[in-house]
Chains A and B, each alone.
Chain A
């Protein structure tokens, strides 16, 4: 046995425990989902009727699903920009501080440790009670908006809470990248007379491109599946005005007509869309990364 083979095998063995769990609880359900997507199973009956592509044809004409898709895309685009700009800004601001780095890092990362369901209910309380208290008692009338009932303000509320939840996580990634930028490059740049603005865009930013790739990949991926924030904040309401695709799928599977098969088909469609977008994104961004 060659050394190479030996190494491979030990690698496989080390991966085996995690991989078997991954296989049983992720891969197997994902692939069996392809089969369920072609049935009209209601999650209860013992027989599953195979209906081929019937579900997918129905999705094509499903107004609510595509409205949810549109809403989710809007949400993803806004989040992509807002969350990453905020996170990078915070990371740079904290990194440039001499004292208290640890405290700020912990503070901003804290919301990420709270489950977003709980975060959502907390903010629900803020939007429906605290803000109105400020309006009624302190005269801050600009806060007197229908934060849950008006689709436009509900969207803003959702963006605020989502940013609050994930900015800390992205910030940590950016901070790690910032710490990896060699000090001599920045020193050399400033000796050559670069302003700190130029220093950031010409030296630091290109050096942290790889973390930008990761962060955008992660935000794209997870924001397309947004569920908990919206579920706990607006419940997708009023009506379906703030319904994301994940909530639409959940409702199809667990409420109303209880259509497991159809809901699985919808999640297949979501998967394909997210997959295509992330592949394109990774291709584009990988090309622009720099290495020393």
Chain B
């Protein structure tokens, strides 16, 4: 009997050991792909000769940063390195930075697991639409008092503020509308349309000259969704100004903005075939090769388009919703922002990094190398022609701030537009489904 007890306890111990090993193993190796430690071995700033500071032993500190930019890993690594050199030179702090870049499809879940598991990174990127949720859960630091707050353009700042408080550093901000092929437009002697009738005319002329007016790539749901983003945004900002507010109060309906379907119908009617079989990347490539003259897609696709056809002559115009020119506006939205975790052990250094992202001297180079758009007064670099064109609308006051709809409603719009395209739902079905979805989202946000 004794021997048996021993054996059982041995088995229990083994189980425990194994479980420990399993957990420990997960923590030690960077659980996320692309995580790299950028430890400074030699700080070049030190070699300048002035090491009056290095006489004192440098303080050691650690900073954990998590970002959703695996495609810009190199640029951010370089920037982090510069920050470390700066810290060592100016503050005599020897900083170790763990920069993690999980792939974008797992980013959210990794971040949420880390936050709820009390293993939060000191700085992390989130989408500006999620700022409200994260703020309510207490995961954001108010940055209004920091130096960086004074540098950000006012209209960009609004997109990342809650109740007038700056809650994150905007990083990717875009003005976007409809992309068009300038060469085709010039050849047909066409001007950028400002009203729905003008748009219809443009389509007719293009068709007569043998061009397909619109490129449709509806396989991924977020692409058709761009049409509702633009049309609802334009309509609401130009005419139905309190619509969104009333939607959040369960006191409005999509029926009030039903005319957004007029332009959606035009786009679908004058579009390319086999839209459901066309992914967004394939769509960009086809657009670059002249398969159609216009493409409802953001300027973020420029990379793919320019790779597919480096000589492409691209322009941006605002999508008309109806014949009221006040509704014809480009969308100004902020996607990725950088947030600071309020309970960070090195909050002061984390804030310094946040400020350094908009540094007077170094920030421009970083933003330019990642081909981000300028978002602050410190950014004084030359941008591409299409970005400039879109920002001309912004400067002329013809831009609206991206509407923040509940995520579930945004997703639903994409799904319903796919179904609208294949003909399985009508306008009325869409209105009812979206109204229901909005009410559900309202109910759920109250519950939590």
Contact = CB atoms under 8 A, between A and B. Distances in A.
Nearest to A154: B276
B22 interface: yes
B8 A241 contact: no
Given A9-B7, A21-B18, A255-B411, A237 B219 contact: yes
Contacts of B219: 128, 148, 235, 237
Interface in A228-275: 235, 237-241, 251, 254-259
Interface string B1-24: 101100110110011001100100
Contacts of A146: 274, 276-277, 422
B309 interface: no
B220 A235 contact: yes
A250 B411 CA distance: 13
Contacts of A24: 19, 22
Interface string A1-28: 1000100010011001101110111000
Interface in B64-93: none
B440 A257 contact: yes
A257 B406 contact: yes
A72 interface: no
Contacts, number: 125
Which secondary structure characterizes the binding site on chain A?
loop
Given A21-B22, A46-B137, A241 B112 contact: no
Contact of B418 (A46, A132, A238): A238
A40 interface: yes
A12 B415 CA distance: 51
B444 interface: yes
Interface string A42-60: 1111100100000000000
A168 B298 CA distance: 43
A149 B276 contact: yes
A127 B277 contact: yes
A237 B133 contact: no
A61 to B, nearest CB: 12
Nearest to B111: A44
A17 B221 contact: no
Contacts of A40: 444, 447-448
A147 interface: yes
A220 B4 CA distance: 42
A16 B448 contact: no
B425 A239 contact: yes
A63 to B, nearest CB: 10
Contacts of B11: 9, 12-13, 16
Nearest to B277: A128
B389 interface: no
A40 B116 CA distance: 16
Contacts of B411: 251, 255-256
A150 interface: yes
A21 B14 CA distance: 11
Given A257-B407, A257-B441, A149 B275 contact: yes
Given A1-B4, A237-B276, A17 B14 contact: yes
A148 B22 contact: no
A21 B16 CA distance: 10
Contacts of B22: 21, 24-25
A5 B137 CA distance: 54
Given A16-B14, A45-B448, A238-B276, A256 B424 contact: no
A42 to B, nearest CB: 6
B112 A148 contact: no
Interface string B146-171: 00000000000000000000000000
Task: Please provide the 10 A-B residue pairs with the shortest distance between their CB atoms, ordered closest to farther.
Answer: A149-B276, A256-B408, A239-B419, A128-B277, A238-B418, A20-B15, A239-B415, A257-B408, A238-B422, A148-B276
Interface of B: 1, 3-4, 7-8, 10-11, 14-15, 18-19, 22, 108-109, 112, 115-116, 133-134, 136-137, 218-221, 274-279, 282, 406-408, 411-412, 415-416, 418-419, 421-422, 424-425, 440-441, 444, 447-448
7 contacts: A24-B19, A40-B444, A46-B116, A146-B274, A237-B276, A239-B418, A258-B407
Interface of A: 1, 5, 9, 12-13, 16-17, 19-21, 23-25, 40, 42-46, 49, 124, 127-129, 132, 146-151, 235, 237-241, 251, 254-259
Given A13-B7, A44-B116, A147-B277, 17 more contacts: A16-B18, A20-B18, A20-B19, A21-B18, A21-B22, A23-B15, A43-B116, A44-B134, A46-B116, A128-B219, A132-B274, A146-B277, A148-B276, A239-B424, A256-B412, A257-B444, A259-B444
